[in-house]
Structure formats: C-alpha cells, structure tokens
Amino acid sequence: MRRRYDVVIIGGGIAGASLAYWLAELGMNRVALIEREDRPGVHASGRSAKVFLSMSDSPFEQAVVLQAGHFFRQPPADLSDVPFLHAAGVLLLYDEADWSRARERAEQLRNMGGTVKEVSADEAGTRMPVPCKADVAGGLWFPDEGYLDVGRLLAAYIGAAYRKGVDVFFNTSFHGLLRNGDALTGIVTGAGTCETKWVVNAAGAWAGHVGVIARATRIGFSCYRRTVISFDIPAALGGQRPEAPPKRARTFPGWARAAQAREQARNGRQTQPDWTTPMPERTALGTALPAPLPVADWPFISFESRHLYFGHEDGGLLASPMDEDLVKPGDPAPNPAVIERTRDRLQRLVPAIAPQFLRGSRAGLRTFARDRQLVLGEDPALGGFFWLAGQGGWGIESSPVIGRVAAELMVRGKSSWPDEGAIEALSPARFVRS
C-alpha cells in the first residue's frame, strides 16, 4: 500500500467496484480498493438472481435504472465489446387484487421512456416457457430486459480500474481512521496505514459496522436474507441428463426434516410437511406452446402476487420465494423451511420444473437504511468520510449510474444527474435532521 492516496474504498462488491472504475475514468488514479474477502462480490453482489428490471415504485430509482440499461446494452469499450445484458425478456404476473396498481406502474414507466406491454392472462400464457397453473389477471412484459452477466460486469469494473492505476487489495480489513478533529487524514488497514483525502464506506451489509468504527454519523441499517435455489433442467424440457441426486445432495424431504426439528425445538410441538394434499385446480397458462424454447432463451418469470420467481442460470434453473427475513450481517445459510417453501410454490405454480433434488442454494443480503433509501454523500460530522451504502435490492442494476454520481461528487463537488434535489435527498445529513 502506498503512503498517500486520494481515495480509499472499503468494499469490493459492485458498489465499490463501479466507483473505482468511475474515479479512474474521471482522472483520479491514486485510489485504493480494499476487500476483506479473497475475491470481489462474495456476498450480495455474487448471490443475486442477476436479473435486470427497470420498473420501480420510486421515480428516481426508475430513472436511474432506465439510464443504466443503456450502459448494459452498449458498455464502454474499455469494459466490454459485447453487452452485459441478455434481453431474454421479463414477465411479471399479477392476481386481480394487484393488477390495477401494476398497470399504473407500467404507465409511469412508459411516461419515462421505458418499454413495457400489458398482456392478458391468455397472452401471458403464450410467453411462458413451461405450462403453469395460475389464475392470474394479467401480466407485464418487458421485451428489452432480462439477465445481467454480473460476474463479468464486476470483473470488468475492477479490471479497467486496475489498468488505470487503481490499487486493489483482497484479504484486507478496515481497522480505523486517522483524524484531525472533525476531518479524517488517513486510514488503518490490514495492508498498512496511509494518508488519504477520502474514505468511502461501500461495505454493503457491514456499512453500519464500518460507520461505528469510523465514529461517523449513526445510520441504522438492516440486513434481509434473500434465498435462491438452483436445480437441473428436467430431461423432458431438454436437460442434458435425467434429474438425479448429485453427490451428497439432500432431497427436499431432508430439508423438511431439518426445518421440522428446528420448529419442534422452538415451539415444543411436532410438525410434519404434508406431501399428499392435492393442489387446487387452476387455469393453466402456457399449455399450447408451439415448440420447446431453449432454456438459455427463457424469459425471467415472476409471480409477483404469489412471491415466486424463476429463470435460468449456468445451464440450469433458479428460483426464489422472494423472502426478506431480518438477519445480522454475515454469511447467512439458507433457511431449510424457506427452501421447502420455494419447492412448494414451484410445485403449485410450475410443476413441470419443480425439482426433487438441488444443485445448490444460496442466501444473499439486501441492506437498507432505516428509511429504505440509498445513502450517498459526505458524512456531515466527519469530513472526507463518504457513504455509498443501503442499495437494498438494486445495487447491481444502478451501479453504472450511482457509481458515476458518487465519483463526480468527490472529484467535482457536484454530479451531472439532472435533478440535484434528488441527489441531495440521499445525503447522510438527513439522519442528522431527523
């Protein structure tokens, strides 16, 4: 580690990596990126569903992601010569109770320049890659959206920053700051101590912990677990082999037994999943597809009202029950009961892909400030300490825009985002005022 830097970034996830790239782009190359793991994106960034969807309840977030979409489709030449986005399409399905609100959100997106089509239940069925049992009222079809190559994006950010002079340190922890009154003068890390003008808190789930060590403004953050399971493509749908238990695989009844034991210990009573209850009859969607669609071209499907999404990943399939369970920062294991819930929803809604065996499962962390808004800007009580935290579930999708905004604030003192008020509203100073 050098003796002096302009910026030291804490955190090698998508937020820190995109910021390092944009700082270098703006000519600030005395930058260090430190990450305590042995590689970037181990936690939230590396455990997402890797989907790109521009629709949001927040007009600001929607505008940011719409702009980011152009970046992912036509990335800068120093990052990639091919898109990061595979536009296989995204289909959101809604029950009657949620359909009116969904159409309002779609209209808002169209007014901002986004592309979305409202489809009937019958038309939604023609876009389903497999038959589904669901009594949906309608759906929203996003033809230009789909899957992000997150691993390649993360590597591109860090690789381009490194080529432009940014120092990257893995297996390196943050230990504290050097201060002169209400301003920082340096940082103490596992790789050494150095002087620096800026320290950026891009530590994801650990942002609150880093803030406490830095003695910065207290901002309450909460971490929520999101579970994803992965499994093979059934042979009937073009899988390379019949579904069979991989080595040391645990079947779903095995997961259920683990969940049962935990529930019994907690409540002192017996629980047993019921595998014999018949599924209710539902209207079938997607029962008359013209030909099997190659799995690599499957759209991303989300039953918004039923809390289930599924899509393809690495030659197989993934699914999530869209869970949001409060947990402590760390490396959370998937909850067996949540995994079983995912399997049950697949069996009820898309039985053609419901697995008996898993390839694997993972749990990532979605981190929110107490008002569930991004925290972006210099700390009001500690000069030189910059917050880039609380991205929740849209850190990857927003990274090319928010990374640039953060870099501009540090290099130029203001960003090029057209609505200055929207950026000011994200400042950590709001937690002092409140």
Give the whole-angstrom CA distance, residue 217 versus residue 202: 15
Q: Residue-wise pLDDT tens for the chain (434 aa)?
A: 999 999 999 999 999 999 999 999 999 989 999 999 988 888 767 778 899 999 998 999 999 999 999 999 999 999 999 999 999 999 999 999 999 999 999 999 999 999 999 999 999 988 988 888 878 999 999 999 999 999 999 999 999 999 999 999 999 999 999 999 999 999 999 999 999 999 999 999 999 999 999 999 999 999 999 999 999 988 777 665 544 555 544 444 443 444 444 444 444 433 333 323 333 333 445 444 444 567 888 999 999 999 999 999 988 999 999 999 999 998 889 999 999 999 999 999 999 999 989 999 999 999 999 999 999 999 999 999 999 999 998 899 999 999 999 999 999 999 999 999 999 999 999 998 65
CB 207 within 8 A of CB 389: yes
The fold adopted by the segment(s) 4-82+150-220+370-433 is: FAD/NAD(P)-binding domain (3.50.50)
Please tell me the pTM assigned to this model.
0.87
What are the domain boundaries of the chain?
4-82+150-220+370-433, 90-143+224-366
Tokens of 45: 């960034």
pLDDT tens digits, one per residue of 231-279? 998 877 766 554 455 554 444 444 344 444 444 444 443 333 332 333 3
CATH class of the 90-143+224-366 domain in this structure? alpha beta
pLDDT tens digits, one per residue of 97-146? 999 999 999 999 999 999 999 999 999 988 988 888 878 999 999 999 99
